[in-house]
Amino acid sequence: MSAASASLNRRLIQELHKSRTEQNPALTYLEPLDDSDLHHWHAGLRGTPDSPYEGGVWDVDIVIPDNYPLAPPTITFKTKMCHPNVHIESGEICLDLLKAEWSAAYTISSTMTAIQTLLTSPEPDSPLNVDAAALLRSGDTVGYESLVRYYVWRYAQKHEI
Amino acid sequence: MDIDIPDPTDWLKTSIPALQALETSLRCSVCKEYFNAPMITSCGHTFCSLCIRRHLSSVQKCPTCRGSDEESKLRKNTLIEELLLSFVAIRDDMLQKLIPKEEPEEDMEITDARDATLSTRDPDARKVEKRGSLDIDIDSENTDPLDRRRGKRRKREGTSSQDTEPEGLRRSTRASSQLTSILIARQSKGYPLDGDDELNDASFEPPKDASDPDSDDDSAECPFCHKRFDAAAINDHANRCFDTGGKGATPSPQKRPPVTFRNTASASISAPRLPPYTEAQKISKRIPKGNFSLTKESDIRKKLSQYGIRYDAKGRESKQALWQRLQDWINLYNANLDSPTPMTDRELVRELEKAERHKQNQERSVVQDKEFERDLWSKKHDDGFAALAVSAKKTAPPKKASAAAGTSATAGDSATSQDTRTTAEVNGIDRPEVIEL
């Protein structure tokens, strides 16, 4: 797919500009890793308030393909994340929005908000983390939540701002 | 990095931050730019012609609501186009007047504020809005859109100079100086919208667009006589031209032909413009998409050469690649038909080639990666670089070859850049990534 790269860069600069002037409450920061490369961003995702994820901040890696926004960005968790739809080792996210249901009207910032929403609405039926999903599917909410809290406490609190 | 690109958040620092919503809805949600030839889908969402065509050729769904849609159902959204024209014409002025610290005349600001708020609710308020913020428009504000368009068309055919002249002469010097000040203000801001041939576009192209190595055209077109001048001299000329009522003067921004907002700053502003296509012409000129598996590779080649698009004659490109190029071309071509100021086919071909070059440049960026290990890379590809140097020696003129004949990575690189220019033949080996040793 042809990417008129000039226009892609302009879109990315606009997104960057917008994220600088308008803070997304779901994020602690959102910017390119390096000023010379607009195609590789990183962000700090906040845990959803009033959920076991509250208080955690996860580093997220965002790779933007050449045909963005026609194709979705590749987003992975860098900080260990315990969630039924996130691979615990690779940080890969299973979210329809990042695959078949992607739409060009999404921005990086709105995608991050969607990922934050995923934290509180897991899909245990298509799990990447089978153990967490099994807990949820068997109805052990207490067990699931304490497992999540442990991981938040163990890994995701170092960025606390 | 250039972050001077105007975007809706500019309004947040003004006294009416709600204007952000107005501007956001005048921008395409795919490219985040102002709509370029806005098209409305069957589900009622509007996008740039090119954006929605590209999107629909990968997924046949509306980007906003995911309702299924087809290219053939797209229709022109004239209202948005006109709204946008009015908005862009007053944007900078409005922005300046609404920024609190600058303290303009008080009554002025109030009128502006009220009008601008109106406009967020009611599209029809744009005329009122204009009256408040841009004096020059007063004379022509009653012109209805149809008249305006007819005017434009006549002007394009070069017959309108007489009937517009009196209006130009009626104008006060105040209006003139105001016009120029807008011109200057926009230029100094490096307004990055690239337009076609008009005062508020051609003149405020950014001085250097980093993302576009091809833009070397520093000239701008005079809004009154439509002659081209050096960017440095355009202000003085426009002033003079306006005072003398300039041949074929364009007295007010409203009388201007529609502007296009193309994303890539390109050298094509100087190229001839075609009049907008009529609906009937569009229908007859549209290229059908075709079907990949039913189209033979030779037919794709035939089509490509019919439009003057280059492809590898030796057949080293896959059918998929050729097909992709043809599809890109069809999207560009069909979108161009919707543009109020279409480009010629040749310019379009240039645009296509430019996009492909950008794509290739980006593939090269492995070497620019932060974690890229220079020493390891040059060791691994030492032989390759040497081979490149040798091949450069053969193709380049004698003295240049001696400069390139080294075995270090840098020598290899300079050989590469020479090769790129010399022949397409070497294309296969001029990129370090391609070399597998």
- The beta-carbon neighbor of B7 closest among A4, A17, A34 is A17
Work out the pLDDT band at B200, boundaries 50, 70, 90. very low
B168 and B251 in contact (C-beta within 8 Å)? Answer: yes
Q: Is the dihedral of CA B71, B73, B77, B78 positive or negative?
A: positive
**A contacts of B352 (beta carbons < 8 Å):** 2
10 Å CB burial of residue B382 (0-12, 13-18, 19+) is: middle
Is ipTM over 0.90? no
A3 and B212 within 8 Å at the Cβ level: the answer is: no
B5 and A10 within 8 Å at the Cβ level: the answer is: yes
The letter for the amino acid at B49 is S
B3 and A16 within 8 Å at the Cβ level: the answer is: yes
A14 and B358 within 8 Å at the Cβ level: the answer is: no
**Active-site residue flag, A82:** no
The residue of chain B with its CA nearest to that of A40 is B369
A7 lies within 8 A of chain B by CB = yes
Work out the pLDDT band at B307, boundaries 50, 70, 90. confident
The residue of chain A with its CA nearest to that of B330 is A2
Residues within 8 A of B (CB atoms), A 89-148 only: 101, 103-105, 107
User: Would the pLDDT of B124 be above 50?
Assistant: no
A66 lies within 8 A of chain B by CB = yes
Q: Mind spelling out the 3-state secondary structure of B285-315?
A: HCCCCCCCCCCCHHHHHHHHHHCCCCCCCCC
Query: Which of A85-89, B46-50, B97-101 shows the lowest per-residue confidence on average (mean pLDDT)?
Result: B97-101
Q: How far apart are the CA of A67 and the nearest CA of chain B, in angstroms?
A: 10
A69 and B33 within 8 Å at the Cβ level: the answer is: no
Catalytic residue among A8, A86, A94, A133: A94
pLDDT recorded at residue A76: 94
Round to whole Å and give the CA distance between B434 and B419: 14
Nearest CA-CA partner of B73 in B41, B36, B103, B39 = B41
The SS3 assignment for A43 reads strand
A29 and B386 in contact (C-beta within 8 Å)? Answer: no
For helices B106-121 and B78-98, angle between their N-to-C axes, nearest 10 degrees: 150
The SS3 assignment for B353 reads helix
pLDDT recorded at residue B169: 42
Domains (range + CATH), chain A: 5-155 (3.10.110.10)
Residues within 8 A of B (CB atoms), A 68-87 only: 69-71
∠ CA B85-B194-B169, nearest 5°, is 55
**B contacts of A66 (beta carbons < 8 Å):** 359, 362
The residue of chain B with its CA nearest to that of A22 is B9
C-beta pairs of B23-28 under 8 Å, 24+ apart in sequence: B23/B87, B23/B91, B26/B80, B26/B83, B26/B84, B26/B87
pLDDT recorded at residue A68: 85
pLDDT recorded at residue B367: 56
Chain B: which residues have CB within 8 Å of chain A?
1-3, 5, 7-9, 12, 29-33, 51, 54-55, 58-59, 61, 63-64, 66, 192, 209, 211-212, 263-265, 324-325, 328, 352, 355-356, 358-359, 361-362, 365, 368-370
pLDDT recorded at residue B257: 46
Say which DSSP state B44 is in: S
Q: What is the pLDDT of residues A103-128, one digit of tens each?
A: 888 999 999 999 999 999 998 888 89
A104 and B55 within 8 Å at the Cβ level: the answer is: yes
Q: How far apart are the CA of B138 and the nearest CA of chain A, in angstroms?
A: 34
B356 and A21 within 8 Å at the Cβ level: the answer is: no
User: Would the pLDDT of B193 be above 50?
Assistant: no
Say which DSSP state B64 is in: T
Q: What is the pLDDT of residues B205-255, one digit of tens each?
A: 444 444 444 444 566 666 556 666 666 666 666 666 655 554 444 444 444
Q: How many residues does chain A have?
A: 161
The residue of chain A with its CA nearest to that of B59 is A70
pLDDT recorded at residue B227: 62
Nearest CA-CA partner of A45 in A103, A115, A107 = A115
Nearest CA-CA partner of B188 in B167, B169, B204, B174 = B204
Q: What is the pLDDT of residues B20-44, one digit of tens each?
A: 888 888 999 888 889 988 999 999 9
Helix-, strand-, coil-residue percentages of chain A, each rounded to 5: 35, 20, 45
Mean pLDDT of chain B: 65
Round to whole Å and give the CA distance between A83 and A91: 10
pLDDT recorded at residue B217: 52
pLDDT recorded at residue A77: 93
pLDDT recorded at residue A116: 92
Percent of chain A with pLDDT over 70: 94
pLDDT recorded at residue B265: 41
- The beta-carbon neighbor of A14 closest among B5, B328, B370 is B5
Sheet holding A57-63, edge to edge: A27-34, A37-46, A57-63, A74-77
Percent of chain B with pLDDT over 70: 47
10 Å CB burial of residue B156 (0-12, 13-18, 19+) is: middle
Say which DSSP state B139 is in: G
B355 and A103 within 8 Å at the Cβ level: the answer is: no
**A contacts of B17 (beta carbons < 8 Å):** none
B359 and A2 within 8 Å at the Cβ level: the answer is: yes
**Strand ranges (DSSP E) for B172-265?**
219-221, 228-230
Round to whole Å and give the CA distance between B58 and B332: 14
B2 and A13 within 8 Å at the Cβ level: the answer is: yes
Q: Which residues pair with A76 in a beta bridge?
A: A61, A92
Query: What residues of chain A score a pLDDT lower than 70?
Result: 1-5, 158-161
A5 and B359 within 8 Å at the Cβ level: the answer is: yes
Q: How far apart are the CA of B5 and the nearest CA of chain A, in angstroms?
A: 7
